[in-house]
Amino acid sequence: MKLALRELRRRPNRFAVATVVLSLIALLLMFLGGLLDGLTAGSTGALRAQQADLIVYSATSDESLERSRLTPEIRAGVESVAGEDAVGGLGTVQLGARLDGRDARDLVPVVLIGYETAPRGLPDEVPGEGEVYADESLRAEGVEEGTTVQLGPARTEVEVIGFLDDSRYSGQGTLWGSLDTWRETVAENRPGEQAGEGVVQALVVQAGDADPAALATEIDEATDGATSTVTVQGAIDALPGVDQQQQVFNQIIGVTVLIAIVVVALFFALITVERTALYGVLKAVGASSLYLFAGVLLQALVVTLLAATVGIAASLAVDALLPAGGIPFVVQPARLIGSVGYLLLAAVIGCALSLRRVLRVDPASAIGG
């Protein structure tokens, strides 16, 4: 294998074009992945932040928070199965937020979420009336601790008392307050959607030691089919657009991997053709086809790893340079490792197409001029 590595080291120019092209493909792959992860994170954060196993919607809501309403009677049914302490109410409303010092029309879209069971990163105690925690992403809009935000046409005022991370919903920043804060804000800004005392949009349920799937069935039975209970992951999957978004991105990522395969295949087929005479000599002096092919494969893997490293560095640079709150791009180690894995797979498959060419080189071609 020294032979293959020496060639890489002593003739780097031969491999430069392939390395550059593969680096660009690596960056594209990682950028697409980061964008997908960013979009997904921005749509699902509020649900992923729930420290619960199940989410209970009304049966007719199609697992949509906006359409779902649960009355105190239904809640009692749920609590009879899951236990009172394990159940918390949830209510959301999407509004335009006005910030001090900004133009009256320069609204920041936010989702106010009323909760009882604290999400990840917040203290168990629910904030007082008119107080909210804000998602970190709202810092980019100038929100700080102590900022007063005016919500909706009624300009309902809430004060930010802290922050939590990765809790966006529908691509918008979130504000987390008590159910009372939520109910009051809805009543002032959306009288038509007003929720009566004790009414919530959904309930989050901690399963504890119970099997979540079994508990979900029990809950739906206890409410006589008035509820539709799903796991948190089930609720995420039911969010409109998230699944389609992932499919589209994964298809583009798939095509990009195909392009990487074609690039590796073409480049190393070319290199193999150029080396036909040399391979003839090496085979004549006793090199096996396997040895020669292993050299090609090794070179492809080294070139690809180099390109992947450039891609990772470029992704991190993009992440650092992009202004927060702009493009929803996040860098996740799992995504980077996965992209490197795809690229290496592309290198192996692309290289395999040169195998036949290496096998076909006849050692007799070395002799007889």
Partner 1 sequence: MTDTEVDPRVGTDTALHLEGVRKTYQVGDDEVVALDRADLTVGSDEIVALVGPSGSGKTTLCSIAGGILAPTEGAVVVGGEDISDYSSKQLTEFRREAVGFVFQTVNLVPFLTARENLLVVDEIGPRTGRKARARADQLLEELDLTARAGNLPGQLSGGEKQRVAIGRALMNEPDLVLFDEPTSSLDSEMGDQVVKLIREEMKSRGTAAIIVTHDDRITHYADRVVKILDGRVDDRNGDDRDHPDRDDG
Question: CB of 344: closest distance to partner 1 in angstroms?
Answer: 25
- Residue among 7, 188, 218, 319 that touches partner 1 (CB under 8 A): 7
Q: In angstroms, rounded to a whole number, what is the distance separating the alpha carbons of residues 300 and 290?
A: 15
C-beta of 249 vs 291, nearer to partner 1: 291
Burial 343-361 (b: 16+ CB within 10 A, else e): bbebbebbbbbbbebbeeb
Residue 11 binds partner 1, judged by CB under 8 A? yes
Of residues 185-224, those binding partner 1 (CB under 8 A): none
Per CB under 8 A, does 166 bind partner 1? no
Where do we find the tokens 């020496």?
Answer: 6
Q: Which one of the spans 113-121, 183-191, 279-287, 301-309 is the region binding partner 1 (CB under 8 A)?
A: 279-287
Nearer to partner 1, 2 or 105 (CB): 2
The tokens describing 120, both together, are 């990840």
Tokens of 138: 């709202």
Interaction between residue 277 and partner 1 (CB under 8 A)? yes
- 281 near partner 1, rule: CB under 8 A: yes
In whole angstroms, the minimum distance from the beta carbon of 14 to partner 1 comes to 9
Separation between Cα atoms, residue 292 and residue 162, nearest integer Å: 62
Work out how close the CB of 19 gets to partner 1 at its nearest, in angstroms, rounded to a whole number: 17
Looking at residues 290 to 349 of the shown chain, list those that interact with partner 1 (rule: CB under 8 A). Answer: 291
**What is the spatial distance between Cα 22 and Cα 342, in angstroms, rounded to a whole number?**
12
Name which of 170, 252, 215, 204 is nearest 70 in CA terms: 204
* Contact call for residue 10 and partner 1 (CB under 8 A): yes
Is residue 122 at the binding interface for partner 1, with CB under 8 A as the rule? no
Residues 100, 197, 285, 321: which binds partner 1 (CB under 8 A)? 285
Q: CA 158, CA 114: separation in Å to the nearest integer?
A: 12
Give the one residue of 60, 148, 194, 288 binding partner 1; rule: CB under 8 A: 288
Smaller CB distance to partner 1: residue 168 or 283?
283
Q: Which is nearer to partner 1, 302 or 318 (CB)?
A: 302
Q: Measured from the CB atom, is 163 or 293 closer to partner 1?
A: 293
Distance of CA 326 to CAs 166, 311, 315, Å? 15, 21, 16
Among 226, 284, 310, 348, binds partner 1 (CB under 8 A): 284
In the complex, least distance from residue 235 CB atom to partner 1, rounded to whole angstroms? 60
369 binds partner 1 (CB under 8 A): yes
Burial letters for 261-290: b for 16+ Cβ neighbours within 10 Å, e otherwise? bebbbebbbebbeebeeebbebbeeeeebe
CB of 303 to partner 1, least distance (A): 16
Taking the complex as a whole, the smallest distance from the CB of residue 310 to partner 1 amounts, in Å, to 24
Please give the biggest Cα pair distance in the chain.
97
The interface mask with partner 1, positions 339-368, x = CB under 8 A, is ------------------------xx-xxx
Nearer to partner 1 by Cβ, of 192 and 368: the residue is: 368
Task: Report the interface residues with partner 1, using CB under 8 A.
Answer: 2-3, 6-7, 10-11, 277-278, 280-288, 291, 363-364, 366-369
